[in-house]
Structure 1
């Protein structure tokens, strides 16, 4: 191969006698001050070369990219004449790399230019083993129907930021009867003609700060706000693409793949770092790797080549190429849009297709890591070799597990260097950390000297949760608890029972523990396989000792939930291959081990780890026992042999409201486990359709008498006066404030008298009976309930203004404002109906 121009990262300081090709004003000044030979400037028109002595080179061309390429080529030519062979270049254009590499005399380039290698399709084909079948291709390219478009549109959540056209999803939903035909034709034309108008793919970039003190561009996350028409088009392709992901993506990736849980990666990582606090463990190492500007750095050609290698049909690839390569961007700055430009790489954060394309790219990295360990570039982390676990991945967050040696760390990281040249995705060294255990100090220092990762200490936060080697203590939960607020125990009841519908954390924790047990019993994820191989060691989950030494604290919590899980779990025997003879509930007599104990295995002559299938097919002779119960079991075995379905698999079931089913329901399991309370009489008057959430919440507080009225404040604040803030005459209680107080009574009379008529009252108890009565006419109930909540909210707001020294709104203006708000709400509800 011909020698290429070498690419290097930016050195600590500019090398002497170096040409600087630069588009950054600060760098320009820095370079001129340093007396360097040449500066390249694309900020002016025409493109300009600047030298300290004022000599200039001008290139008038139609394309900015061409101008940049020509100017740099000219700069390199001048540099060669001056005997300069080192160039400091600030650019990231793939086209420029190719242009520079075509120069006959290679040079040394410094800066932020990325040298993206051409990917040989043979390499990708060898790495990616999945190929789309004819059925898959038909599914991806089937005709887009009006019903499919309608479902995608109406599945979009409301209250989302619109794109540059200003129309949110709610607009198209509410006008569907009028716009359906035109909208459908517009969407279908994209697929039929393979053309996406520039305006449709225009995008607003909203800069979301990553931290409180965001000062630089890297501290912001660019979120794309796309037009609804584009969202529908891309979502249709995304919905089809995600159906294939479970068959394409390796088990180590848990993001955006249906049926995989983020929590399973956390659990498996916790098991693997369990002994990192011990000095006696064998050498091991974990690298928590962050991909720098992950979505924004992906090279488009890499994405398209991955799709081509996987056998995606040409039309689908063309659609995706349109979606990712043709957008134009405007940046939202202080509410205004600035600029209108195109990009040269990256996937938009905010496009529904982007996550699926990104995990396809990351799957190439996963397979390269797995191949590297197979080729001996690094060795397995202890506890990983049986299942050949090398890493865990959630989107762009990776944890790489290797043996604790310099060679293994180097071998693993070399894969990332190769992957960067293919995809443009690189490691963010400043955000990546390394965790080591059992490694001699000399070896540890050598690793840290060669690889500039920060040394981490457990607990490390992986996917937002701490990984610990021991049971979590109060201080470990502190960062999470600080974000919570103390609430009344009543809020953990359902709304019908007088609460807020927020679930009790103890009950929720048990439900999620049961869900993990269910997934461990039926799942085939990496975590499930690791548990069976390393903790159960192919024994029954119901058999292992709860006090076993191995396993993390979370595993021991699962073991303690077995008695609860047994009441929900059932297995229907098919061929018996997955049914434990002793520990599963397959017999009419129940779990045989619970019935006969350890002695039963000896009396029956059946091993503790035997499955029902092994007992039925073993050819064992029926025994005669002294105990009648053993003879009954022998008879049951014989009966099962006769009716045993041939070839049918065992079916594992979980208890649901309507009986035992093949899948787990978090809601139904929680409802069966939770402590139930009697229903309250007033919930319908508080939580009704089309209410305003903040009104409903404040009404809930008032009904439970938990507002900070002065009669309650004096109980915990010495020296406080319980006098009403509004009228200054009576004690301020809930019943007085709503609506016995003179000011509040006038407001309530103005709003409610016309609605209630002869039933008008200011008594709290009577009003509660009225708004809770489900037998009244529907329109009347909505009007009085909403009026009740709106007046409550407005009066409490006015009361607080006066309490804190602000001026209240004049009474007549307050009445009109409340009335206007109620009328607007009623008008909106009518339109929705």
Structure 2
């Protein structure tokens, strides 16, 4: 259903996308639709199994995995390689070690179980990578444990540093003192240790840092009409097939606007440089007691800047409803003229908007009578 709605054609055919999938899977605050990226979500679910290996010793599956795949020690996870003798799941969990390594910190105590080269026990991550696999030059065995390189808890037996990375490591080791306690692992997400696993938080972490858009609360407002908000999202992303875009795709079509028949049709022209659409928006804006503008960017800024205080909430929601309805029915009229050769006047279209807004406001009269009443009074005060 999402495929048919967002892309041309039926669900089984291959057609050009109206909106890139990378945009669709963003959250609404980031400019998308909030649909999960299933590949990343699946990876987050797989990472939970790895988390169980380190932090859920009571599981029968964990005990089996440690004994059969990791040869009895969880510390071998970082050095165990996929094998044709392992199951598909086991191999996939082993392939995710680079993804999960920054999240599993080994807290150094006595250093007896901490592998020098492969455990995440320093701020430099894996020393095998940080020191560029220089184990032979340092004279430290590949399977060496941290405790084997330390005497009396604070005296480190390491060869003289010959690279900048080795200097950094030895400087760090001067701050480390081993104790009598046991080493332990800790799950750390975004610099914050936690005792539980959250698939949602890990999914967000894997997606990376993505900036928010300032228009999200304007497009996806409370008590909205979903199809109106969806179209406004497409318009803001400039993904509606206006004639300037059709010409850019190489299609041979008339460039003139179907509403005014005098200027090239584009997103910015339709909303609301076109005289027809501006007359419709002016009529709706007068009922909301705001001053309309012809420029698209100015109009969006005007909607973003609407007051968000509790005392003005009813007026803001009413204005957003009217604005999005105007955008929706302007596009509807454009398509009706293109595909069905049906023409309607501004007054006729506004009568549809008026009826639809009244019905929408009345629809939540039982759940929020105060807001519904305030919005109706504001609408009727002009009408």
TM-score, normalised with respect to structure 1: 0.35
Is 1:716 aligned with 2:249?
A: yes
Q: Report the Cα distance in structure 2 between the residues aligned to 1:693 and 1:495, rounded to whole angstroms.
A: 13
Alpha-carbon contact 2:109-2:179 (below 8 Å) kept: no
User: Please, which of 92, 100, 113 is the counterpart of residue 565 of structure 1?
Assistant: 100
The alpha-carbon deviation at position 669 of structure 1 amounts to: 2.6
- Structure 1 pair 652–689 and aligned structure 2 pair: CA distance change class (3 A): farther
Which residue of 515, 522, 535 corresponds with 2:69? 535
Choose the corresponding residue for 2:305, options 754, 768, 773. Answer: 773
Residue in structure 1 matched with residue 350 of structure 2 by the alignment:
815
Contact 2:281 2:292 in 1 (8 A): no
Following the alignment from structure 1 to structure 2, what is the Cα–Cα distance between the partners of residues 591 and 574? 18
- Coordinate RMSD, CA, aligned: 4.5
Cα offset for 1:698? 0.7
Question: C-alpha distance in 1, partners of 2:316/2:27?
Answer: 22
Check if 1:803 corresponds to 2:338.
yes
The structure with more strand, counted as a fraction of residues: 1
Structure 2 vs 1, CA of residues 633 and 673 (structure 1 numbering), >3 Å: closer, same or farther? closer
Query: Measured at CA, do residues 634 and 781 of structure 1 come closer, stay the same or move farther in structure 2, by a change above 3 Å?
Result: closer
Distance in 2, matches of 1:550 and 1:513, equals 20
Once residues 510 and 666 of structure 1 are traced to their aligned partners in structure 2, the CA distance between those partners, rounded to angstroms, is 9
SS in 2 for 1:663: coil
Structure 2: segments with no counterpart, 5+ residues:
1-10, 149-153, 162-169, 372-383
1:789 is the counterpart of 2:311: no
The answer on 1:763 being equivalent to 2:291 is: no
TM-score by length of 2: 0.69
Q: Do residues 640 (structure 1) and 179 (structure 2) align?
A: yes
Partner SS, residue 654 of structure 1: strand
Pair 1:491-2:24 in alignment? yes
Q: Over residues 532-563 of structure 1, what are the superposed CA-to-partner deviations in whole Å (9 max), with x where a residue is unaligned?
A: 33322224343434364433555444334323
Paired with 1:543 and 1:658, the residues of 2 have a C-alpha distance of: 21
Note closer, same or farther for the CA distance 1:570–1:537 as it changes in structure 2 (3 Å cut).
same
Question: 1:737–1:591: structure 2 CA closer, same or farther, 3 Å change rule?
Answer: closer
Shift of residue 651, structure 1, vs aligned partner: 5.6
1:704 matched to 2:215? The reply is no
In 1, Cα distance between equivalents of 2:98 and 2:61? 22
Q: What is the CA deviation profile of residues 465-485 of structure 1, one whole-angstrom value per residue up to 9, with x for unaligned ones?
A: xxxxxxxxxxxxxxx997998
CA distance 1:739–1:795, shift in 2 (3 Å): same
Query: Which one of 515, 526, 534 corresponds to residue 48 of structure 2?
Result: 515
Q: Which residue in the other structure is 1:692 paired with? A: 225
Say whether 1:550 aligns with 2:85.
yes
Partners of 2:313 and 2:360 in 1: how far apart? 15
Cα pair 1:517 1:558 within 8 Å, conserved: yes
Counterpart of 2:3 in structure 1 is: none
Question: 1:664 and 2:203 equivalent?
Answer: no
Which of residues 280, 289, 292 is equivalent to 1:747?
A: 280
SS of 1:762 mapped into structure 2: coil
* Higher RCO structure, 1 or 2 (CA under 8 Å, sep 6+): 2
Deviation at 1:500, TM superposition (A): 2.9
Is the Cα–Cα contact under 8 Å of residues 494 and 502 in structure 1 kept in the other structure?
yes
Change in 2 beyond 3 A, CA 1:802/1:526:
farther
Q: Given that residues 581 and 592 in structure 1 are in contact (C-alpha distance below 8 angstroms), is that contact kept between their aligned partners in structure 2?
A: no
Distance in 2 of aligned mates of 1:795 and 1:740? 12
Does the aligned pair in 1 maintain the 2:111–2:178 contact within 8 Å? no
* CA deviation map 1:361-406 (0-9, x unaligned): xxxxxxxxxxxxxxxxxxxxxxxxxxxxxxxxxxxxxxxxxxxxxx
Task: State the alpha-carbon separation in 1 of the partners of residues 158 and 298 from structure 2.
Answer: 74
Structure number, greater radius of gyration: 1
- Distance of 1:658 and 1:635 partners within structure 2: 23
The residue aligned with 1:292 is none
Cα separation, partners in 2 of 1:623 and 1:821, compared to 1, 3 Å: closer
Name the structure 1 match of 2:166: none
Taking a change above 3 Å as real, the CA distance of residues 634 and 680 of structure 1, as seen in their structure-2 partners, is closer
Q: Where in structure 2 are the equivalents of 1:101-112 lying within 5 Å?
A: none
What is the deviation of 1:569?
Answer: 0.8
The 5-angstrom pairing of residues 151-550 of structure 1 reads 486=17, 487-488=19-20, 489-504=22-37, 507-508=40-41, 510-523=43-56, 525=59, 527-539=61-73, 540-546=75-81, 548-550=83-85
Residue 659 of structure 1, CA deviation:
0.8
Identify the range of structure 1 (509-518 vs 562-571) with the bigger mean alpha-carbon deviation.
509-518
Query: For 1:528, what is the secondary structure of its paired residue?
Result: helix
Task: Verify the 8 A CA contact 1:714 1:720 in the aligned structure 2.
Answer: yes
Measured after TM superposition, the shift of residue 792 of structure 1 is 1.2
CA contact (8 A) 1:651 1:662 kept: no
Shift of the alpha carbon at 1:637?
11
- Contact 1:656/1:665 (<8 A) preserved: no
Q: Which runs of 5+ in 1 are unaligned?
A: 1-479, 616-621
The structure carrying a bigger helix percent of its residues is 2
* Cα separation, 2, equivalents of 1:756 and 1:634: 69
In 1, the alpha carbon distance for the partners of 2:70 and 2:145 equals 14
CA apart distance, 1:763: 2.8
Q: Give the conservation status (yes or no) of the 8 Å contact 1:652–1:662.
A: no
Tell me by how many angstroms 1:749 deviates: 2.4
**Is the 8 Å Cα contact of residues 70 and 77 (structure 2) preserved in structure 1?**
no
- Counterparts of 2:273 and 2:157, CA distance in 1: 83
For residues 158-184 of structure 1, the C-alpha deviation after alignment (integer angstroms, 9 at most, x for no partner) is: xxxxxxxxxxxxxxxxxxxxxxxxxxx
1:766 Cα deviation from its structure 2 partner: 1.9
Give the 3 Å change call, closer, same or farther, for CA 806–527 of structure 1 in structure 2.
Answer: farther
Q: In 1, Cα distance between the equivalents of 2:335 and 2:269?
A: 16
Matched with 1:732 is: 265
Distance 1:704 1:624 in 2: 59
What is the CA-CA distance between 1:568 and the residue it aligns to? 1.0
483 and 517 in structure 1: CA distance in 2 versus 1, 3 angstrom threshold: farther
| Whole-angstrom distance in 1 between the partners of 2:272 and 2:304 | 18
Q: Secondary structure at the residue paired with 1:653?
A: strand
